[in-house]
Amino acid sequence: MTIELRPLGRTGIHVSRFGLGAMVLGAWGNTDRAACLRIINRALDGGVNLVDTADMYADGENEEIVGAAISGRRDEVVLCTKFHYAVGDHDDPNRRGNSRRWIRRAVEDSLRRLGTDRIDVYQVHRPDPATDIAETVAALDDLVTAGKILSWGTSTFPAEDIVLAHWAAARRGQVGPHTEQAPYSMLLRGIERDVLPTAERFGMGVLVWSPLSGGWLTGKYTRSAPPPADSRGATNPDHFDGGNESKLDAVEKLSAIAAEAGVSLTHLALAWGVEHPAVACALIGPRTEEQLDDLLGAAALRLDTDTLDAIDEVVAPGVDLNPDDVGWSPPGLAADRRRRRR
């Protein structure tokens, strides 16, 4: 299978229209190590060239699985990982976040687990208000100079923090963020207002995560049936908005649009997720080989203008049906930051 390759911003790297998000391979999903290795290699054989992981996924196990899978074909892979969160169960504030101290340790740990001498795209997993962004930028610039990372990016950053990172880099003649990895789906379109235009302005490549909106856009969640036993809605109901009426309404309407277009809702969602001109790649996260084959079935699908317009009528551009899905909330929204001390 051939999958379209697209420029990743101005990095000079070209990435497949769909990338493999590996988070559910390992303890957080598929615990069959051999099957996980097959999934990664099957994706690469299918035309995917970008693999995305993070140090905190299953406390490092996910990076080890990815490293083992690509060990004989490292040069074929655009390898992406992330740092920020604690790895393992501990309360040490110096072993998390975006400080130079932690970045220097985190990158060495990731390189070891991945079994490689360089990371193609090293991503800051979330903002860290406790750390000066200039400190983070400088540490990452040093890693680029050392050749341990080839480029770096942000993940789930608001537009203003992306701008601050670029300003910090420009003031010191350092390398600013090359990419942003943002949550984006037909039900979560807020980044169209600010993050995507900001990325375009700075020439950044954009990877998008959760294009199926946590399973909502597979059609498995309806009013007429309980969530499937192995679905997120059943296994993590406290963290899943299964009763969201706005989403239930939208999914019904989007399912009708998919049927009219002659495609599945899943394929409609994936093809839509890479239609925006700022988006280089959408991350798919299969747990099984069968799921991978289905997702890759959308790799060549392009939606016509009438279908795209119909989708806009269901969820308007720039609208998030559930703002809690954005993945990070600025600390300024907390009650103790909104009210004067008494």
Based on the residue annotation, tell me whether 122 is a catalytic residue of this protein. Answer: no
Distance between CA 115 and CA 171 in Å, rounded?
35
Specify whether the CB–CB gap between 270 and 295 falls below 8 A.
yes
Torsion-angle region of 263 (φ positive above 0: left; ψ -120 to 50: alpha; else: beta): beta
Q: Which three-class secondary structure state does DSSP give residue 6? A: strand
Catalytic residue among 57, 122, 184, 221: 57
Residue 110 phi, psi dihedral angles, 5° rounding: -65, -45
Q: How many CA atoms, within 13 angstroms, populate the side-chain half-sphere of residue 234?
A: 10
Q: Write out the DSSP string of 98-153.
A: S-HHHHHHHHHHHHHHHT-S-BSEEEE-S--TTS-HHHHHHHHHHHHHHTSBS-EE
Distance between CA 163 and CA 320 in Å, rounded?
22
Residue 201 phi, psi dihedral angles, 5° rounding: -60, -35
Specify whether the CB–CB gap between 283 and 207 falls below 8 A.
yes
Q: What would the two tokens of residue 34 be?
A: 């051999």
Helix (H) or strand (E) holding 165: helix 159-172
Distance between CA 170 and CA 45 in Å, rounded?
40
Which residues are known to be catalytic?
A: 57
